[in-house]
Amino acid sequence: MAWREHVVSMEGFLRREGSETSSGVTENAQTYSISIEYDLEARIDAVMEARKNLTPSPPPKIQKVKFLLRDHKDFQKHYEPRAVSLGPIHNGGKKYKLGETYKLMLTCEFVKGSKETINDLYKKIGEKIKELKECFEKEVIEGYEDEDLIWLLLVDGCALLQYIDCAVNNNFEGLKIKPDSIAFTRAGFIFA
């Protein structure tokens, strides 16, 4: 710990009377040493200095599960979506066909309730596709043309937002989805 020492003469406090000053006192004065910790100031300085020396870490990216975990006996249980695939990693899998139908239905409902047309939303995502691709590890999107990735992000994003809206407002009736499918899809969305 860092300490700073201050010496304070107590003679003026012990000997002074009324308007008398301590400069005229000739007796041996008592001196007290008071140690004041300045540790907080040093710590703050260290934090500010450390920030200057940091090398920025790369931003996290959407990636596949590391290959070492893929061999784990519970891999499918913990890392694969149950009903609905969101994003490019599991997109197109046969077991997600029903989920794809639901995503299109949810996307349609989202666009109907939006102030934007589906073309406008597609264009907006297209304008940002270069930045959006930076959010993924290369191996995740390597087989996707920009147009396909834009469409995937549009459908998945709109469907997810509409699903959240329906869940928050408890409003699944208008979607013509059976209650057991909603429960199944809910589990898929939560654990996808």
114-132 pLDDT tens trace? 999 999 999 999 999 999 9
Which residues, given as ranges, of the chain have pLDDT below 70? 1-38, 67-70, 75-76, 78-79, 176-192
Residues in CB range of 153: below 8 A, 6 or more apart: 125, 132
Instruction: Phi first, then psi: give them for residue 86, nearest 5 degrees.
Output: -115, 130
At residue 83, the 3 state secondary structure works out as coil
CB 46 within 8 A of CB 154: no
Please give the DSSP secondary-structure letter assigned to residue 117.
-
In angstroms, the CA 8 to CA 32 distance is: 6
Task: Confirm if 121 and 114 have CB atoms less than 8 A apart.
Answer: yes
pTM value surpassing 0.85: no
